[in-house]
């Protein structure tokens, strides 16, 4: 058995890995070191709490619509089923596929923080 098969079996098989806009990783399974960045562990989920530069990032400053790039519009629409949140409400209603992964948009979810 090669190392990849062993890792796959040891980590519990396939698991979802999500690279956030901030550059961090979210995943379930074994605690894998990722560039020695600090992590919070909660119920088997490892969540990277720092950006690539090691500084905390204010998510509200990064939320600019990837289509219209209008900073005055708030990005609070999640595409379902892919769960990407990258567009303002106006642009999200105008597209049929996610601009990030090109998955068909089944529904829209409004998120307010």
Q: What is the tens place of the pLDDT at every residue in 66-101?
A: 999 988 888 889 999 899 999 999 999 999 999 999
Strand ranges in 9-105 using DSSP code E only, listed in sequence order: 17-19, 25-28, 39-42, 45-48, 77-80
Q: Residues spanned by CATH 3.30.40.10 within the chain? A: 63-113
pLDDT digit string, tens, across residues 7-63: 656 655 544 444 444 444 444 444 444 444 444 444 444 444 444 555 555 555 568
**What confidence score (pLDDT) does residue 8 get?**
59
Percent of the residues in the chain that have a pLDDT greater than 70, as a whole number: 45
CATH architecture label of 63-113: 2-Layer Sandwich (3.30)
CB half-sphere exposure, 49, CA atoms < 13 A = 7
């Amino acid at each position: 058995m090669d190392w990849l098969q062993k890792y796959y079996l040891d980590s519990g098989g396939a698991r979802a890995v999500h690279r956030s806009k901030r550059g961090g990783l979210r995943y379930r399974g074994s605690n894998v070191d990722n560039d020695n960045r600090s992590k919070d562990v909660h119920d088997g989920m490892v969540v990277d709490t720092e950006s690539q530069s090691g500084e905390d990032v204010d998510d509200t400053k990064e939320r600019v619509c990837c289509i219209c790039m209008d900073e005055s519009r708030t990005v609070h629409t999640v595409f379902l089923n892919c769960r990407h949140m990258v567009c303002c409400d106006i642009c999200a209603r105008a597209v049929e596929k996610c601009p990030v992964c090109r998955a068909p948009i089944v529904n829209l979810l409004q998120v307010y923080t």
